[in-house]
Amino acid sequence: MGQAGCKGLYQSLLDYKTEKYVIAKNKKVGLLYRLLQVSILTYLVVWVFLVKKCYQDTDSSLQSSIVTKVKGVTFTNTSELGERLWDVADYVIPPQGENVFFVITNLVVTPNQRQETCAESESIPDALCCEDSDCPPGEPVVAGNGVRTGRCLRAGSEQKGTCEIFAWCPVETKSRPAKPLLGEAEDFTVYIKNFIRFPKFNFSKTNVLDTTDRAFLKSCKYGPKDPYCPIFRLGSVVSWTGSNFQEIAVQGGVIGIQIEWDCDLDRAPSECYPRYYFNRLDNRFSENSLSSGYNFRFAKYYRDAAGVEFRTLFKAYGIRFDVMVNGKAGKFNIIPTIINVGSGVALMGVGSFFCDLVLIYFIKKSHFYRDKKYEEVRPGRQGNGKVNVEQLQNLQTVEA
C-alpha cells in the first residue's frame, strides 16, 4: 500500500456519516407504509401483549400433589366367590389414593390353589410334549406357571400332551367373562384433590372450591353446571373420552385425566382455577388388538386347619386412571415488557425497509427515486490540496 493509500485510510477514519432522508410524495407507497405500521402495531398489542401476555414473567416449574378417593359399593353372586359385597377396599388398587389408581371391573378367579404337581395349561406352547424327554426336570416353562418334573402327561390315547409341573395347582384355565363382574362401577365416584405451587411467585392453590358450606362436596358432581366440583362419576369420565363404560369394563383400559392450570397472577387468586381434559390412552381402535385393555394378577393367601398354605388367584381386568397435572403462572415484570416493546419498535424498521424496496425497484418511476435516494457526490480540490465536499441538505422532499 502506497503513501497516498495510507493517507486516505487515515483520513477516512475521521469521516462522519449522516443519513439523508427523502420524503417521497407517492400515495401508494405511503399507504403501504401506514398499513404495515398498523399491522405491526396490532400484532404487538393484540397478539404479543393481550393473547400471549409477553409483558409477564412466567413460571412453568409447577409443584403438584394428587390425592384420590373412590367411593361406591356393589353386590355380586358368583360360583367362585358366592355372595359378596364389594366396597372401595376390595376393588381399588392401590388403596392409599395416588395420582394413578385402578378400579377392578372384571375378574377371572382360580380358587384353592396349592403348591403341588399338575399338568401345565395346553395354551402354553413351551409346555407341549410327546414323551418324557421333552420335559427336562427342573427347567421352568417359558411363559408358563411352574417348573417341569420330567413327566409328559397325555390324556387317553392322545399323542401329544403337556408337561407335568410343580406349581400353584390347579393352574388358571378359565377365560375372561363376556360380561363385567362389577359393571355397576359406572356409578362410582372419585374425589380428586390437587395441591399446586408455583415456587417463583410463592403462590399456592387447590382445585377444591373455597367455601364454608360443608355439604358442598357431599352433593356436587363435576359437570358443565358445576365445573368447580372435584368429584367425578367414573361412567362420565369414560364417556367424555368417547368410550362406553360397559365395553371398556370387560377387558380394561387406561384413561388419562389432565388437569391444566393457567394462572394470571395479576388478577385475583380466585380467578386461578383448573381445567380438566379426558383421554383414553390405550389402543381402542381394535377390539382384538393385543395392545388394548389392561389386566394383572394378584393373590390372597390363607392356611387350612393343618397349617398348609393355599391361595385364591385373581386375574383382574379394570380401568387404570392416570391423573396428570400441567400448568404455568404469569405476573407482570418490567424486563420482558421492555424487551417486547423494543422488538416491536425494531419490527417497524422492517416496514421501512420493505417500502424502500418497493419504491426503488418495483414502481414505474423507480429509477427516479433511486437516483434521489442514492446520490453520488464527487469531491473537488482546492489549492491547498484538501478535499472540499459540497454541503447537502439532510432532508429532501421529492415529488414524482
Angle between helices 27-42 and 334-357 (to 10 degrees): 160
Q: Which of 189, 169, 223, 179 is nearest to 101 (CA)?
A: 189
Binding residue positions: 69-71, 189, 295-297, 315
Binding residues for ATP: 69-71, 189, 295-297, 315
Q: Please report the sign of the dihedral spanned by the C-alpha atoms of residue 225, residue 227, residue 231, residue 235.
A: positive
Rounded to an integer, what distance in angstroms lies between the CA atom of residue 171 and that of residue 145? 7
DSSP one-letter string for 152-195: EE--TT-S-EEEEEEEEESPP-PPPPSS-TTGGGGG-EEEEEEE
Cα 46–chain centre separation: 27
Q: Say which amino acid occupies 241.
A: T
User: Residue 26 contacts by C-beta under 8 Å, 6 or more apart in sequence?
Assistant: 359, 363, 369, 400
Contact 337, 139 (CB under 8 A): no
Largest interatomic CA distance in the chain? 130
Report which secondary-structure segment, H or E, holds 203. strand 203-206
**φ and ψ of 244, to 5 deg:** -105, 130
Contact 148, 161 (CB under 8 A): no
Q: Are 369 and 359 in contact (CB under 8 A)?
A: yes
